[in-house]
A and B are shown apart, each in its own frame.
Chain A
């Protein structure tokens, strides 16, 4: 890591900062950065963390009903991973000088966004396949790019998280493939699920470049390296082949292969629906936020107890040491 030479004023600092970005240097927490860069990163990273956490809900909805023990364990492990991603990214965001609790409060107050995809309901077991395959798949396309983001802690988090998301995607696709070659009821379940998740997953990349307010700045500072439309096209090209391989149908009558570019071109995306869900009127917006608020409210007494106990322990360190020396099975004090 290079250290910044002392600079006289902000415009000189900014020039030096942008030179570092241009040279593909990684920006680290202690480095000087423009306030807008910091703000954009906090916004993006906290949205990402919130998405991981809210994303536990639609899949959590099917853990108790998973149709085999193996699938139940895989799903539990996946949802646990997503919680881990959330925690990891919250910690990464804290390197920018914010407090995780404030970020969570913004989510609960409805002031922070999270990925709109989680405002759709999970209605059948096949949705566990569709989400892993399409939603994690779209996340991978996005995060592979973010792994090259200019902010070091975010980029490193993405490298680690992407490995797990790849695993999730593989498992989701495997669920869909198994259903698609199963009984006719299973195949119908898979197709119906694909019909519901296809378009929302294309919307995950955000509005068209010309309508994306944050994109220019994010790209200039190397937080994003590719445009929404580029990423979306990449995802479509990858996914159409996967749909065909398991003999399902993309729910788009206008879908066609463009020989000139080698791209699969889709019909128009319903941006009215996209904005409706972003603005809070998706099928599950209030439910998802309600579930998070409820968990937070119901857990208040637990968090208060943990704080009160920790304070008591600090007050009486000597007694705490005695307790630890008693050699009970609980005596080593390691936490979860």
Chain B
């Protein structure tokens, strides 16, 4: 392999960390969901997301060539080294927050994976093809629930709207194209995420309309995750995620 572009590893980490951290948050539901069917569905979504992260981290480790495998990257990086969007690390909240977040991120994910199926990087396009199918299921599952909650009872409508309002300021970051990926985009390796926003917004609006929910306007969009500047939540999440691995450095599991 010719020497990889220096921006490829950070670009891969941005993709992987979104799925790892969101998968972690989703896995917190295990055994505590509103109905057994949702326990199963959320566990399944968490599993898909962590599986996607696993593949991309594996590849990032290979590209980096510094002897870090997927587990070293997951369990031995500090919060400032994570590149996930802030949206993914926010606490799981109630079922409404979980569902609305899966809808927002899932839709972004489908668009991103779909674009990446055409990546000139064959490893990445291979992963994308598999992940796209999973993410399509996630967004369908979440979208149906958004409509059910939004157009369900007074309480569910209120909670769903609160979730939309709370999460909306974290959606903008998904479409802020990192400057260091310009050459990768030019070479057809990475996707310019800013181009995905119009389609994302159209589909969000359609579901919001059916859910009788509204999107807030004139909101400042939070950012920082793509460069390692996170919310306070990520450190606690990682403390939990990494505790066993870090207590036994070098151990096999």
- Whether chain B is bound by chain A comes out as yes
Does B220 have its Cβ within 8 Å of any Cβ on chain A? Answer: no
Q: Are B241 and A65 in contact (CB under 8 A)?
A: yes
Does A77 have its Cβ within 8 Å of any Cβ on chain B? Answer: yes
Complex interface: chain B residues within 8 A of A86 (CB):
36
Task: With both chains docked as a complex, state the minimum distance between the C-beta of B20 and any C-beta of chain A, in angstroms.
Answer: 8
Within 8 A of A (CB), among B90-120: 94-96, 110
The 0/1 profile, CB within 8 Å of A marked 1, for residues 21-47 of chain B is 000100110111111111111011011
Complex interface: chain B residues within 8 A of A178 (CB):
252-253
Q: Are A303 and B34 in contact (CB under 8 A)?
A: yes
Complex interface: chain B residues within 8 A of A302 (CB):
34-35, 38, 95-96, 149, 156
Q: Are B248 and A53 in contact (CB under 8 A)?
A: no
Q: Are A80 and B43 in contact (CB under 8 A)?
A: yes
Does A308 have its Cβ within 8 Å of any Cβ on chain B? Answer: yes
The 0/1 profile, CB within 8 Å of A marked 1, for residues 141-155 of chain B is 101100111011101
Q: Are A305 and B50 in contact (CB under 8 A)?
A: no
Does B74 have its Cβ within 8 Å of any Cβ on chain A? Answer: yes
Within 8 A of B (CB), among A42-88: 53, 56-57, 60, 63-73, 76-77, 79-80, 83-84, 86-87
CA separation between A183 and B141, bound complex, in Å? 43
Q: Are A76 and B47 in contact (CB under 8 A)?
A: yes
With beta carbons under 8 angstroms apart, the residue of B31, B47, B71, B243 that contacts A56 is: B31
Given contacts A64-B27, A299-B35, contact A323 B210 (CB under 8 A): yes
With beta carbons under 8 angstroms apart, the residue of A186, A291, A312, A335 that contacts B31 is: A291
Complex interface: chain B residues within 8 A of A68 (CB):
71, 75, 245, 253
**One of A18-26, A248-256, A325-333 contacting the partner:** A325-333
CA separation between A251 and B147, bound complex, in Å? 55
Q: Are B203 and A328 in contact (CB under 8 A)?
A: yes
Q: Are B248 and A83 in contact (CB under 8 A)?
A: no
Within 8 A of B (CB), among A300-336: 300-306, 308-309, 312, 323, 328-330, 332-336
With beta carbons under 8 angstroms apart, the residue of A73, A296, A298 that contacts B47 is: A73
Complex interface: chain B residues within 8 A of A186 (CB):
248, 251
With beta carbons under 8 angstroms apart, the residue of B53, B74, B148 that contacts A305 is: B148
Does B207 have its Cβ within 8 Å of any Cβ on chain A? Answer: yes
Closest B residue to A62 by beta carbon equals B244
With beta carbons under 8 angstroms apart, the residue of B34, B51, B243, B252 that contacts A298 is: B34
CA separation between A90 and B36, bound complex, in Å? 11
Given contacts A178-B252, A328-B207, contact A306 B152 (CB under 8 A): yes
Complex interface: chain A residues within 8 A of B203 (CB):
328-329
Complex interface: chain B residues within 8 A of A106 (CB):
none
Complex interface: chain B residues within 8 A of A306 (CB):
148, 152
With beta carbons under 8 angstroms apart, the residue of B43, B143, B152 that contacts A309 is: B152
Does A182 have its Cβ within 8 Å of any Cβ on chain B? Answer: yes
Closest A residue to B140 by beta carbon equals A330
With beta carbons under 8 angstroms apart, the residue of B57, B155, B248 that contacts A301 is: B155
Does A185 have its Cβ within 8 Å of any Cβ on chain B? Answer: yes
Task: With both chains docked as a complex, state the minimum distance between the C-beta of B82 and any C-beta of chain A, in angstroms.
Answer: 15
CA separation between A335 and B147, bound complex, in Å? 13
Q: Are A305 and B156 in contact (CB under 8 A)?
A: yes
Closest B residue to A311 by beta carbon equals B152
Within 8 A of B (CB), among A267-314: 291, 294-296, 298-306, 308-309, 312
Complex interface: chain B residues within 8 A of A323 (CB):
210
Does B206 have its Cβ within 8 Å of any Cβ on chain A? Answer: yes
CA separation between A232 and B245, bound complex, in Å? 36
Task: With both chains docked as a complex, state the minimum distance between the C-beta of B247 and any C-beta of chain A, in angstroms.
Answer: 8
Does B159 have its Cβ within 8 Å of any Cβ on chain A? Answer: yes
Q: Are B139 and A336 in contact (CB under 8 A)?
A: no
Closest A residue to B46 by beta carbon equals A76
Q: Are B244 and A70 in contact (CB under 8 A)?
A: no
Given contacts A301-B153, A304-B156, contact A83 B253 (CB under 8 A): no
Q: Are A305 and B153 in contact (CB under 8 A)?
A: yes
Does A154 have its Cβ within 8 Å of any Cβ on chain B? Answer: no
Q: Are B240 and A79 in contact (CB under 8 A)?
A: no
Task: With both chains docked as a complex, state the minimum distance between the C-beta of A66 and any C-beta of chain B, in angstroms.
Answer: 7
Complex interface: chain A residues within 8 A of B159 (CB):
301
Name 20 A/B residue pairs within 8 A (Cβ), A-sorted.
A60-B30, A60-B32, A64-B240, A67-B75, A68-B75, A69-B54, A70-B71, A73-B47, A73-B50, A73-B51, A295-B31, A298-B94, A298-B95, A299-B95, A300-B34, A302-B95, A305-B148, A305-B153, A308-B152, A328-B203
For the complex of A and B, 5 pairs with smallest distance between CB atoms: A299-B34, A305-B152, A305-B156, A80-B43, A302-B34
- Extra contacts, 4 of them, besides A80-B40, A80-B43 (Cβ < 8 A), are A56-B39, A64-B241, A76-B46, A328-B203
